[in-house]
Structure 1
Amino acid sequence: MPMKRETLHAWLLVLPALVLLVGFTHWPALTTILDSLHTTPRGSRPSVFVGLENYADLLDDPVFLQALWNNTIYAAVTIPASVVIALVMALAVNQALPGRPLLRMAYFTPTILPMIAVANIWLFFYTPDYGLFDRVLGLFGGGRHNWLGDRDTALPAMILVAVWKEAGFFMIFYLAALQSMPPDLKEAAALEGSSRWNFFRRVTLPLLMPTTLFVLVNAVVNAFRMVDHVVVMTRGGPDNATTLLLYYIYEAGFRFWDTAMAAALTTVLLAILATLAALQFGLLGRRVHYR
């Protein structure tokens, strides 16, 4: 009887969060999958079950294939770059440096800025002739360049903005993990004559693995949910060179009002994120030690 009462009490405590989780996460995901198997309702014409036809249309859609390729490149660059830079910054500001609080604030400042504000700031940096980059290059004899209007530089320009904004956010987690490490580990390693690189590779990195796994999961999600910067800076151009999956979902659902295609795109995106999360926990989970 006491066990049943404790179990009931536990479920009552979890119930509010469970209702919100189901109502705003699991149920919308389920309805999205169901909508992807139907046509888009038009006026008085209801939706019709078409099975996997929407997914077959995606394979013949060059814009979707371009968006998928763009997002693959975007994720392959932003994820390792932001994580490595965050770790380097955390190691730097964890040292006893003069002006360390100011340096930490400088690293973290891009994180607290709204995405729209960040996009507009970098939009000014990339402005031909008058932007910061063209001004600096002009000092060294460089010519005018349309950074966001050139297919070869538009996506790298967006990647640079994302890394600049996300590295400071991930740095906070690494810094917290570094400060929670027992200081006697470093002292013991110094007494044993271990080099700083060997201590970092053998002690620091393994102890940071739980944080690294957490940061990687967030980095993957961020890499596939980017839409604010694209809307403000390029709107997917030029010639879909910066169209990412979430922006294409936004266009399909709210510009062309093709909710069935948007649902199919969303299901594909959910499948990609689920697969990447499973790989991360499967490959890195064995190396993660929480105690």
Structure 2
Amino acid sequence: MNRYAEMERRRQHLYGWFLLTPAAILLTLFAFYPSIATFWESLFSRGTRRRPSEFSGLENYTDLFNDPTFWIVVKNNLFYAGITIPASIAIALAMALWANSKIPATGFVRTAYFTPTVLPMIAAANLWLFFYTPDLGVLDQIGALFGLPSMNWLGRPDTALWAIIIVTIWKEAGFFMIFYLAALQTIPVDYKEAADIEGTSRWTYTRRIVLPLLMPTTMFIVVNAMINSVKLIDHLFILTKGGPSDASKLILYYIWEMAFAFFDAPHAAAMTVMVLLVLGIAAAIQFLYLDRRTHYQ
């Protein structure tokens, strides 16, 4: 009997490994190997025809820390993430609460909120370019009705990054709303009925019951929003190209510029490794600490 139980256990283990094999192969080819190769390349100097690349250790990382443009990009990205992440999540939550309530034309409201998400990134950027164009853009046309002067929204250092932030919030809020809407529909109606019997106000019910139950979804959205905050590049190509004077340049655009405009792959690899390291630390904190508190374990 023990022999058959042992064979069945081994068969189950083998079956499990077979199920994991396709995912393991894909992760190895498109995640683990590229990450290791990128780290290895970041340890070598930039090579030329006359001077081949040589092992330089952490010199590329030291160069980045001594690069003023790198710190400008880091500051831009931190500011960009600090505004877009909470704003997108707050707007998404508000839209989901409204779209989940009993209002007329619920389907139309949900579709309208989600429409920006399905637009291609390049199409969305060109749409907003029509809004931001000086003199001819929609914003300047509306401002002219009130006697306001024309403004080059994308050509001024003090407004360029804000213009990118607005586009990102408009694009991502509808995407995050879908997750909140799905989570709201899993909350039993008994909770709302019990709250109504107790005479609980809508704000108290939302704050004391709905928001705590939405915390796992919120943490999932936060992680996705953090990843999105360091991978924006499409809008920058169309709207600002990182300008003016690096005022709207973000980390992924700088990595692309370093690798394909300056042909400096080792420094681009070093920046990529640092981005992966920061995201890995954030994910580890989320799974090891915040996830347990979120699920009240």
TM-score per shorter chain, which class? over 0.9
Deviation sequence 1:223-279 (CA, Å, 0-9, x none): 110000011111100000011000000001111111101100101111121222233
1:25 to 2:7 alignment: no
Q: Which amino acid aligns with 2:183?
A: A
List gaps (5 residues or longer) in structure 2.
1-6
The Cα shift of 1:81 comes to 0.2
Deviation at 1:288, TM superposition (A): 2.0
Q: Distance in 1 between matches of 2:212 and 2:288?
A: 16
Q: In the alignment, what sits opposite 1:143?
A: 149
Distance 1:91 1:169 in 2: 14
Post-superposition shift, 1:82?
0.2
Alignment partner, residue 107 of structure 1: 113
Q: State the TM-score, normalized to the length of structure 1.
A: 0.97
Paired residue secondary structure (1:151): coil
Amino acid at match of 1:42: T
Which moves more between the two structures, 6-15 or 279-288?
A: 279-288
- 8 Å CA contact 1:206–1:287 kept in 2: the answer is no
Q: 2:90 aligns with which of 84, 91, 102?
A: 84
Which residue pairs with 2:190 in the alignment? 184
Provide the identity percentage. 54
Question: Over residues 192-236 of structure 1, what are the superposed CA-to-partner deviations in whole Å (9 max), with x where a residue is unaligned?
Answer: 222212211111011111110111110000011000001111110
Partner of residue 64 from structure 1, selected from 67, 70, 74: 70
- Asked if 1:268 is matched to 2:274, the reply is yes
Q: Choose 274-283 or 72-81, whichever is displaced more.
A: 274-283
Match of 2:285 among 279, 287, 290: 279
1:91 shift after superposition: 0.2
* Alignment correspondent of 1:212: 218
Alpha-carbon separation, structure 2, partners of 1:281 and 1:6: 28
Q: Aligned with 2:168: secondary structure?
A: helix
Residues 35-59 of structure 1 show CA distances to partners (whole Å, capped at 9, x for unaligned) of 1111123236432111111011001
Q: CA RMSD in A?
A: 1.4
Q: Which amino acid aligns with 1:62?
A: P
1:209–1:287 contact (8 Å) kept in structure 2: no
**Residues matched between the structures, number:** 291
- State the partner residue of 2:236: 230
2:55 pairs with 1:36 = no
Counterpart AA for 2:175: F
Q: How does 1:35-54 map to 2 (within 5 A)?
A: 35-43=41-49, 45-54=51-60
Which shows bigger deviation, 144-153 or 29-38? 29-38
Structure 2 CA distance for aligned equivalents of residues 153 and 121 of structure 1 = 18
Equivalents in 2 of 1:102, 1:2: separation in Å?
A: 53
